[in-house]
Amino acid sequence: MRYMLDTDILISLYFLNSEIVRNKLTQLIRSHNDIYIDNYCVNEFARVIFEKHLLKLDNDKNKWIINIKQIEQLIFDNFYTITCTLPGRLSFSIRDPKDEMVLKAALDNKIDYLITGDKDLLDVKQVKSLKIISLQELTMKFH
């Protein structure tokens, strides 16, 4: 199976330092599934962390920077990075235009499951063979 992570899953790893998220990703990796992340999501993750968090910290930035480095290491050691090459727009509308990039990357790279917490994406549920699931649904799948 081919799984793709959305930005909010990375943000959960960072802010929550979530053992639950980490364990689920480890299960995916160990079960010989391929895990992908779109370059757009990696860049969005870095932007969100920098703009909304690191700029506001007065102290203890090193702790958070170390956490970013650990997540980067997890990504580059275990995930395939992909890009979207599909031209044009999707055949249906979605509320947030940024989500279209994520969907197009998943479709272009023949991803089976997009794992996200984004309500707009979760409302779509499925596009062609791409299933859009939450981390909770992923947890049930591997339980």
Mean of the per-residue pLDDT values of the chain: 79
| The pTM of the whole model exceeds 0.85 | no
CA distance 77 to 73: 6
The amino acid occupying position 9 is: I
**Residue 9 region by backbone torsions, left for phi larger than 0, else alpha for psi between -120 and 50, else beta:** alpha
- The percent of residues in the chain predicted with pLDDT above 90, rounded, is 20
| H or E element at residue 48 | helix 39-52
pLDDT digits (tens, 9 = 90+) for 70-118: 667 777 777 888 877 666 677 777 888 778 888 988 998 999 999 999 9
Q: Which residues of 2-37 are buried (b: 16+ CB within 10 A; e: fewer)?
A: bbbbbbbbbbbbbeeeeeebbebbeebbeeeebbbb
pLDDT digits (tens, 9 = 90+) for 48-74: 877 776 656 555 656 666 566 766 777
| Average pLDDT of the segment spanning 119-137 | 92
**Residue 130 region by backbone torsions, left for phi larger than 0, else alpha for psi between -120 and 50, else beta:** beta
What angle, 0 to 180 degrees and rounded to 10, lies between the N-to-C axes of helices 19-30 and 61-78? Answer: 20
For position 54, what pLDDT does the model report?
62
Q: 122: pLDDT confidence band, cut at 50, 70 and 90?
A: very high
